[in-house]
Amino acid sequence: MAAALLLLLSACAGAPSREPAHPGAPPASRPSLGPVPTRPGITARPGAVVASPSDVTGTRFIRVLLSGGTSEVVLRGETIRAWSADGRLAAEAAGRATLAAVGERIRWNGSRLLGDTLDVAGAPDLRVGTREGTGRVRILARKGELFAVAVVPQEAYVAAVLSREAPPRFHPEALAALAVAVRTYAVGAAAKPRDPAYDVVGSVEDQVFDGMDGVAAVFREAADRTRGLVVRYRGEIARTVYHSTCGGRTEDAGSAWGKDIPYLRAQFCDDCADSPVYRWEYRMSETEGRRVAKALGVPPGKDLRIAVTGRTPTGRASRVRISSGGVYRELQAAEFRREAGYAKIRSRKMEIVPVAGEWRITGEGWGHGVGMCQFGANGMARRGAGYREILLRYYPGTKITGETP
């Protein structure tokens, strides 16, 4: 879901290849951590003088997977403290701690062998890998691999995600609408966690979370203004997916993912025309076309052809046919797009035209097109719409309520 896109980043620097996860999307190749005994959040430990952004009573936490399946995790902080699963202080370090998995146990700084679960905090803050300001982190050892899960206060998570999923120059009402979508996604995920050990992945699989350091005030204000608000459909938490730019019309969830969702139906959108990816073009070279064909199971010869052979009602490609030398394969357009690269083929709203041995691919919008169009939301806000109006346009039939309806 949610995911969105990136956004803009597009406009700015080299946009990372990114495609949002979505309802029903399998957690990629991520292995389940299995039945890990977990507590709902890491509670403050007696004697923990480590600063933490929130030991406030009643604060809700989102468990965000920062890294998984690695053999080692490096933690940095002036003071680092770790508690075992039973709440006892298990280890301390200054500056840096390197954790390694040894079967179902965690080796601390190359020496002591601890249990399979550690709750870690740092003062004044904790840095995990390249992420700064992660708050408290749970480290789990499973079959020789380590998993790092940040336990983040919900509203801090909303602001931090917003800072990566939306540009700061967006109108405050558009940012507020996105904040509600980000929070709704997280609350829905926490109600049905991806894994017993975490609620969401801190990447495009769910929503990008790079820590809470350096989150600009505009994002914190958008989260604050909408604190606790979520989108519901008939009382249930809605799947508030979003994307960068729809290119003129959003997509039906049914067309994109094969599952109809009443409030994720195609909407005309004339507010995203100033998006830098409203229209785009990508020249696929002969070399790249041959690579993609080969990767998708068609040995490329001199007569390699790539063509759109099916479209959804909103004009997005649904099927792509690759053929050469009497061999052909017809596949989901999404599969073609994934192989070619999400940042090159920015949406399935595209035409593929062979030109002198290459392919000229022109398209509209960026992302899956389902749910809220971020640039459309910004366009609406600039025309004077409030965040509620924006949300109800892209998620028609829903209601905006507190977390407890």
Q: Does the protein bind Zn ion through residue 246 (CB under 5 A)?
A: yes
Q: Which is nearer to Zn ion, 23 or 376 (CB)?
A: 376
Concatenated DSSP letters of 45-111: PTT--S--S---TT--EEEEEEEEEESEEEEEEEEEEEEETTS-EEEEEEEEEEEEEETTEEEETTT
What is the SS3 assignment for 254? helix
CA distance 106 to 318: 46
Ranges of H-type helices in 240-384: 253-257, 286-295, 333-340, 374-382
CB 269 within 8 A of CB 380: no
| Stretch of 6-14, 64-72, 239-247, 291-299 contacting Zn ion, by CB under 5 A | 239-247
| Stretch of 40-48, 50-58, 244-252, 329-337 contacting Zn ion, by CB under 5 A | 244-252
190, 272, 277, 400: residue in contact with Zn ion (rule CB under 5 A): 272
Q: Angle between the 154-165 and 217-225 helix axes, to the nearest 10 degrees? A: 130
Judged by CB under 5 A, the chain residues 279 through 318 that form the site for Zn ion are none
CB of 245 to Zn ion, least distance (A): 6
Task: Write the interaction track for Zn ion spanning residues 194-233; mark x where CB under 5 A is met and - where it is not.
Answer: ----------------------------------------
Give the max Cα distance, the chain.
72
50, 316, 376, 378: residue in contact with Zn ion (rule CB under 5 A): 376
Ranges of H-type helices in 105-228: 154-165, 172-191, 217-225
Q: Which is nearer to Zn ion, 38 or 267 (CB)?
A: 267
CB of 373 to Zn ion, least distance (A): 3
Beta-bridge partners for 358: 355
Q: Which is nearer to Zn ion, 222 or 272 (CB)?
A: 272
| Stretch of 8-16, 162-170, 320-328, 369-377 contacting Zn ion, by CB under 5 A | 369-377
CB of 349 to Zn ion, least distance (A): 11
The two three-digit tokens of residue 296, written as one number: 């998708």
Q: Angle between the 286-295 and 333-340 helix axes, to the nearest 10 degrees? A: 120
CB of 232 to Zn ion, least distance (A): 23
| Stretch of 8-16, 84-92, 173-181, 241-249 contacting Zn ion, by CB under 5 A | 241-249
User: Which stretches of 236-356 are assigned E, i.e. beta strand?
Assistant: 236-237, 242-243, 279-284, 305-311, 317-324, 327-332, 350-355
| Stretch of 139-147, 189-197, 371-379, 389-397 contacting Zn ion, by CB under 5 A | 371-379
CB of 318 to Zn ion, least distance (A): 20
128, 293, 373, 385: residue in contact with Zn ion (rule CB under 5 A): 373
Q: Which is nearer to Zn ion, 246 or 304 (CB)?
A: 246
| Stretch of 126-134, 191-199, 233-241, 366-374 contacting Zn ion, by CB under 5 A | 366-374
H or E, element range at 392: helix 387-394
Q: Which is nearer to Zn ion, 237 or 370 (CB)?
A: 370
CB of 246 to Zn ion, least distance (A): 3
- Binding footprint of Zn ion, residue count (CB under 5 A): 5
CA distance 368 to 352: 18
80, 269, 317, 350: residue in contact with Zn ion (rule CB under 5 A): 269
